[in-house]
Every structure is written in C-alpha cells, then in structure tokens.
Chains A and B, each alone.
Chain A
Amino acid sequence: MANWNSMAPYMRRYSIRILLFMTSYVVILTASLTFARSGAAHGQATRIGLALITAFPVIGVFWAIFRLLVETDDEYQRFLFAKQTLFATAFTLVIVTVWQFLQVYDVVATGPQWMGVIWFAMLGLAGPIARWKA
C-alpha cells in the first residue's frame, strides 16, 4: 500500500472521500434495511426516501472518481485515470447489453441490475489493464 505521506495530494483527497462515502454506505444501508424490514408497514414516500438515502453515498463515490479526474495535476496520471474509467464504462456496457438480450430471449428472468456495483467492479478490473506497460 502506498505511503500516505508520499501520496500525491489529489490521491489523498480521493482516498479520504472514498473512505467517507464507503463507510457512510455501510452504515446507511445497514440502518435503512433494518428499519425497512422491522415489520412495520412503510408508506411509499418513506420507501422512496430510504432508496434515495441509500443511493446517496454511491453517487458520492461517482462524484469522488470524477473529482479525481479534475484534480489530478499530473497529466499522464490523469490520462491513465481517464483511460481506466473509459474501459470500466465499456466493460459495463458490454455486460449490460448481453444481460439485456439474455432477458429479451427469456434466458434470465430479470434485466440488468446493480449497474453501479458492476461499474465499480469493472473500474477495479480496468486499473491494471489501463496501466499495463504504462
């Protein structure tokens, strides 16, 4: 793991933001699911509210990633990050497109879901590919 002090300032800010949003996600998701499944009947507005609150930290992670692209003052590193996000987007679109047609032809019951999670997983996969021989 990279030493905190030797890390570029933009990378430190990114790490802090990701840590905050991921911690918030775990706390909010656990609390919201516990509340939603507590047995009491919840109205539509409450359920919409829970969905939005749970989505907020995930949206925050997207924001943190795009702030990283803006704040990276090392142009070659910015180029590599941009390449990584484009690869992640392309891989996600491939998966979602295939999944969608599997649903169209009744191979699977449900169409594409959890696309944010798929994109994050693809971002992780795209990292070493974008930096291959870099």
Chain B
Amino acid sequence: MKNRLKVLRAERDWSQQDLADALGVSRQSVNAIETGKYDPSLPLAFRIADLFDLTIEAIFVRD
C-alpha cells in the first residue's frame, strides 16, 4: 500500500521522530510505514489520519 506520509510530514516540517512521538510509536515504525514495508492496523491508520486532520484514504492509497 502506498502512502503520502513523507509529503505530509515535510509540509509540516516534521522529522520522523516528531511524527513517532505524536503517534506514540518508535521512529523505526514510522520509517517502516512511510517506506511501505509495513501497513498499519486500522486503529493506527485512524490515529495518523486524525493527526493530519485527513481521512485514511487521503493518506493511504491502493497500489
């Protein structure tokens, strides 16, 4: 699954660590999601969407 996390993060001038702290996960986890190595669960996807004030489908897109 592709995602726009890196772009959204850059728009806010957030580092991976900033995003990880806001989500309560490790920086390694943010990196894995951002690079598409790991697809987050629905609860985590909702937390990410809420943080960016967007819908899940505005962040995560089908391959």
Contact = CB atoms under 8 A, between A and B. Distances in A.
A53 B1 CA distance: 50
Contacts of A75: 25, 29, 40-41, 44
Interface of A: 8, 73-77, 79, 133-134
Contact residues on B (Cβ < 8 Å of other chain), bracket: 10 to 19
Interface of B: 24-26, 28-29, 32-33, 37-38, 40-41, 44
A70 to B, nearest CB: 16
26 contacts: A8-B26, A73-B24, A74-B24, A74-B26, A74-B29, A75-B25, A75-B29, A75-B40, A75-B41, A75-B44, A76-B26, A76-B28, A76-B29, A76-B32, A76-B33, A76-B38, A76-B40, A77-B25, A77-B26, A77-B28, A77-B29, A79-B38, A133-B37, A134-B28, A134-B32, A134-B37
A77 B28 CA distance: 8
Contacts of A74: 24-26, 29
> Considering the complex of A and B, which 7 residue pairs feature the smallest CB-CB distances, nearest first?
A76-B29, A74-B25, A76-B38, A74-B26, A76-B32, A74-B29, A75-B41
Contacts of B25: 74-77
Contacts of B32: 76, 134
Given A75-B25, A75-B44, 7 more contacts: A73-B24, A74-B24, A75-B29, A76-B29, A76-B32, A77-B26, A77-B28
A76 B20 CA distance: 12
Contacts of B37: 133-134
